[in-house]
């Protein structure tokens, strides 16, 4: 979603800002802009990509050592030149960039209009900068104070950075509900929505907390206060990120690179946690809440999108192995219900970005009801990682492609570790069985590697079906969430309508869709329900549907029936999602490429969904 970049120091700001925006392109956006300070505030902005902004700026004056820049993902007002950020204040003395939503903008705007202000855009962000200017004018305060006072009047979420013509030696930034990181260099500061634009300049960062307001001056220490005017000591952390992780590394797209990184990301997610010699799993984050986790009456998993699918795999894992009842909830629904929660409940919040607004709000709700919240996050320092009581990072490394791939398999890996650990501590698994599963998990990266190699026929399948209008994905048990994930991957990057269903549900409705033009992907690796899936395949075949089947190596029965077959190595049933997902990711990737779609930045989508 929207991306923020800011710079203050001795270097030219423009190249830093533009490079920063390019690093944030993966978040998804529809317009871009910069504001540069040089005696006055120059704002350049336009609809389209960062490259369009560069063309638009062309030879316009860009000499400045202080500036802010933004990529906007439209919420209030269509994507156009006027609604793009930065926004000027009424008299053009200030400019703001803003992520998030000011919920009470309409009433503030009305009040300002009554007082003679004239607005140019449809955005809530413009309202905020007008309000700040109005406060400065009426209360005769400096920019920092005006921002602080204004933020006490707004309801909603924000990450903002402001420049002022009258205070040309500083930036003011603040956050609530939307992320903002400040990179601390030598006599200079870098601001961004996440660390990716900062890492090439400094490893030292401060993550602003909710309701922090920061005064940023070059050559001076950072000053942070709360909106309620309490002093805070900024906590400088060292980033573990490395710049190569943010490059494509020879791959055509980030998504493809990330698909191929899965042997490593899965291994990194269990490295140091899985101990074959001692036959145990140790997870630092679980130690403090061991007693609560062990005695949990119920686990509630909250997440969105792909992370929700990982949560569904988690449901099967926790129930199968640890015998704890599990409910998996869309965070967006959970937060607006009146869920029944108690102190005996464990809530597991899953999020790659750690910034998903609905998941964050669901966490706050569950916390308020006394539940213990365990986070499974990929981004260290993210809002969700900080909002939870305890947690385990997924160690997938930065995921840049909007379509989640390696984050999913890393989440499933961590949930597998958690379920196994709980099973052992609750005595619901034998020592031998535990050892069998962790031994197999330990060699899963090699099997993922093999799956990546052997699924070469995926390209041929992609060519055959790239122009169809619909796809159906069917699976049972552990493969049902895989079917959902396969369908989501296809629709988000290729814009082909795709549905995932439990295979046996097909006859209750989706079977009506089957004709000779309908490809149906079956994940047919199950042991217990294999024959039943075979029957479902027969039902599709009888209606001339085209069958693409993911099967276990050596399978003969489904091979006979299917039009196309992709083999994956044999493994434990509960670990199949880690393998079966791979060819589905590749299938959607190749179809999207063949359709000429923007794989890494699909239309309308954002990588971290920081608005509800
Ligand atoms: O960062 P999160 O895991 O919280 O994001 C949740 C969803 O927005 C995300 O998984 C989304 O569905 C992806 N685009 C799927 O590929």
CB distance 260 to 452 below 8 Å: yes
Could you tell me how far CA 4 lies from the centroid of its own chain?
16
Per-residue model confidence (pLDDT) at position 1: 73
- In DSSP terms, which residues pair with 474 in a beta bridge? 501, 522
Q: What percent of the chain has pLDDT over 90?
A: 84
For residue 384, which atom of ligand 1 is closest to its CA?
4
Residue 110, both tokens: 């009305």
Question: Beta-carbon neighbour count of residue 570 at 10 Å?
Answer: 14
- pLDDT in the model for residue 611: 75
Sheet containing 170-176: which strands, arranged edge to edge? Answer: 87-88, 94-99, 158-164, 170-176, 212-217, 223-226, 231-232
Task: Determine the residue of 314, 330, 406, 609 to mutate for testing ligand 1's pocket, defined as the one with the most ligand atoms within 8 A of the Cβ atom.
Answer: 609
Task: Set out the domains of the chain in order of their start, with CATH numbers.
Answer: 3-244 (3.60.20.10), 248-452 (3.40.50.10490), 453-599+605-609 (3.40.50.10490)
Q: Which pLDDT score is estimated for 119?
A: 95
Strand 189-192: give its sheet, edge to edge.
41-47, 31-37, 66-72, 3-8, 189-192, 181-184, 204-207, 237-238
Q: Is 607 a catalytic residue?
A: yes
Which of 50, 399, 21 has the alpha carbon at shortest distance from 198?
A: 21
Using the mean position of ligand 1's atoms as its centre, give its distance from the Cα of residue 600 in Å. 13
What is the pLDDT averaged over residues 582-598?
97
In 124-240, the DSSP E strands lie at 158-164, 170-176, 181-184, 189-192, 204-207, 212-217, 223-226, 231-232, 237-238
User: Among this protein's residues, is 230 annotated catalytic?
Assistant: no
**Which of left, alpha, beta for 311 (phi over 0: left; psi -120 to 50: alpha)?**
alpha
Tokens of 111: 């009040």
Q: Which atom of ligand 1 is nearest to the CA of 606?
A: 14
Q: pTM for this structure?
A: 0.84
- From 178, 179, 307, give the residue whose CB has the most ligand 1 atoms within 8 Å, as the site to mutate: 307
Parallel, antiparallel, or unpaired: how do β-strands 170-176 and 212-217 relate? antiparallel
Mean pLDDT of 176-185: 93
Ligand 1 centroid distance, CA of 304 (Å): 6
Pick the more confident residue, 610 or 374. Answer: 374
Arithmetic mean of pLDDT, 197-221? 95
CA 148–ligand 1 middle distance (angstroms): 33
User: Which pLDDT score, from 0 to 100, does residue 47 have?
Assistant: 94
- The answer on pLDDT for 62 being more than 70 is yes
Task: State the average pLDDT over residues 378-404.
Answer: 92
Distances (CA, A) of 5 to 19, 180, 569: 9, 9, 45
Catalytic residue among 257, 546, 586, 607: 607
Contact present, 544 and 570 (Cβ < 8 Å): no
Tokens of 465: 């079906």
21 by Cβ neighbours in 10 Å (0-12 / 13-18 / 19+) ranks as buried
pLDDT band of residue 343 (cuts 50, 70, 90) is confident
Q: How confident is the model at residue 455 (pLDDT cuts 50, 70, 90)?
A: low
Picking from 445, 488, 452, the residue whose alpha carbon sits closest to that of residue 592 is: 488
Using only C-alpha atoms, the chain has a radius of gyration, in whole angstroms, of 25
- What is the pairing mode between strands 345-351 and 372-377? parallel
Comparing 163-167, 269-273, 283-287, 428-432, the range with the smallest average pLDDT is: 283-287
Task: Tell me what the pLDDT averaged over the chain comes to.
Answer: 94
* 312 CA from centroid of ligand 1 (Å): 14
pLDDT band, very low/low/confident/very high, at 113 (cuts 50, 70, 90): very high
For position 463, what pLDDT does the model report? 95
pLDDT tens-digit series, residues 476-518: 999 999 999 999 999 999 999 999 999 989 889 988 999 999 9
| Range 307-321 average pLDDT | 98
Looking at residue 423, its pLDDT comes to 97
Kind and range of the H or E run holding 34: strand 31-37
Q: Specify the DSSP class assigned to residue 512.
A: G
CA distances from 170 to 18, 118, 163, 186 (A): 20, 27, 7, 16
The Cα–Cα gap between 120 and 600 comes to: 33
Percentage of the chain exceeding pLDDT 70: 100
Q: Is the pLDDT of residue 300 over 90?
A: yes
- According to DSSP, the β-strands at 546-552 and 519-523 are parallel
Angstrom distance (rounded) from CA 572 to CA 528: 12
Torsion of Cα atoms, 401 then 381 then 153 then 229, to 10°: -150
- Partners of residue 214 on adjacent β-strands: 173, 224
Residue 153: which of 167, 139, 163, 164 has the closest Cα?
139
Region 82-95: what's the mean pLDDT? 95
Question: Is the confidence at residue 241, as pLDDT, over 80?
Answer: no
Query: pLDDT at residue 342 above 90?
Result: no
Identify the residue whose tokens are 């994940």: 523
**pLDDT, tens digit (0-9, with 9 covering 90-100), for 19-29:** 999 999 888 88
pLDDT score for 461: 95
Question: Residue 216 — pLDDT band, cuts 50, 70, 90?
Answer: very high
Length of the chain: 612
**Which atom of ligand 1 approaches the CA of 305 most closely?**
12
Residues in contact with ligand 1 (CB, 6 Å cut-off): 304-307, 351-353, 356, 359, 402-404, 488, 492, 605, 608-609
Dist CA 453 CA 14 (whole Å):
43
Question: What span, in angstroms and rounded, lies between the C-alpha atoms of 184 and 318?
Answer: 42
Higher pLDDT, 458 or 242: 458
């Amino acid at each position: 979603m929207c991306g923020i970049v800011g710079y203050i120091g001795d270097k030219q700001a423009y190249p830093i800002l533009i490079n920063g925006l390019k690093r944030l392109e993966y978040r998804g956006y529809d317009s871009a802009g910069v504001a540069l300070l040089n005696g006055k505030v120059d704002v350049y902005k336009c609809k389209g990509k960062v490259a369009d902004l560069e063309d638009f700026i062309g030879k316009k004056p860009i000499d400045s050592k202080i500036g802010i820049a933004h990529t906007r993902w439209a919420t209030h007002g269509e994507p156009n030149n006027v609604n793009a950020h930065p926004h000027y204040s009424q008299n053009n003395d200030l400019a703001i960039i803003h992520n998030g939503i000011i919920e009470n903008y309409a009433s503030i705007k009305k009040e300002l209009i009554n007082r003679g202000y004239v607005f140019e855009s449809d955005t809530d962000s413009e309202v905020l900068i007008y309000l700040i200017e109005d406060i400065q004018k009426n209360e005769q305060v400096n920019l920092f104070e005006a921002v602080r006072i204004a933020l006490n009047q707004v309801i909603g979420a924000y990450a903002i950075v402001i420049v002022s013509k009258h205070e040309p030696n500083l930036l003011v930034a603040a956050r609530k509900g939307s992320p903002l990181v400040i990179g601390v260099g030598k006599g200079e500061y870098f601001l961004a929505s996440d660390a990716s634009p900062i890492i090439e300049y400094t490893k030292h960062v401060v993550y602003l907390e909710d309701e922090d307001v920061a005064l940023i001056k070059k050559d001076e220490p950072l000053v942070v206060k709360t909106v309620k005017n309490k002093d805070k000591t900024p906590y400088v952390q060292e980033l573990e990120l490395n710049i190569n992780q943010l490059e494509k590394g020879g791959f055509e797209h980030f998504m493809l690179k990330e698909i191929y990184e899965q042997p490593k990301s899965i291994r990194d997610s269990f490295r140091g946690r899985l101990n074959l010699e001692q036959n145990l799993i140790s997870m630092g984050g679980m130690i403090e809440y061991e007693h609560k986790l062990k005695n949990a009456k119920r686990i509630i998993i909250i997440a969105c999108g792909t992370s929700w699918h990982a949560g569904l795999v988690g449901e099967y894992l926790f129930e199968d192995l640890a015998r704890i009842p599990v409910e998996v909830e869309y965070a967006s629904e959970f937060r607006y219900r009146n869920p029944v929660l108690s102190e005996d409940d464990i809530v597991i919040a899953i999020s790659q970005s750690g910034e998903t607004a609905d998941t964050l709000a669901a966490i706050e709700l569950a916390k308020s009801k006394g539940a213990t919240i365990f986070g499974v996050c990929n981004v260290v320092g993210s809002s969700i990682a900080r909002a939870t009581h305890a947690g385990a990072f997924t160690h997938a490394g930065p995921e840049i492609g909007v379509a989640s791939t390696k984050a999913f398999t890393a989440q499933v890996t961590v949930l597998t570790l958690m379920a196994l650990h709980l099973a052992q501590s609750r005595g619901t698994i034998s020592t031998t069985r535990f050892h069998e599963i962790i031994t197999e998990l330990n060699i899963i990266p090699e099997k993922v590697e093999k799956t990546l190699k052997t699924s070469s026929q995926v390209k041929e399948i992609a060519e055959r079906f790239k122009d169809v209008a619909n796809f159906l994905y069917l699976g049972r048990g552990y493969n049902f969430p895989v079917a959902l994930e396969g369908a989501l991957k296809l629709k988000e990057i290729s814009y082909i309508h795709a549905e995932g269903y439990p295979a046996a549900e097909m006859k209750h409705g989706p079977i009506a869709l089957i004709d000779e033009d309908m490809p149906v992907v079956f994940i047919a690796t199950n042991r217990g329900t294999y024959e039943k899936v075979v029957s479902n395949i027969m039902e599709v075949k009888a209606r001339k549907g085209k069958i693409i089947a993911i099967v276990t190596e050596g399978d003969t029965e489904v091979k006979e029936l299917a039009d196309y077959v992709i083999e994956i190595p044999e493994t434990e049933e509960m670990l199949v999602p880690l393998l079966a997902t791979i060819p589905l990711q590749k299938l959607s990737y190749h179809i999207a490429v063949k359709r000429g779609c923007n794989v890494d930045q699909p239309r309308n989508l954002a990588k971290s969904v920081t608005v509800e």
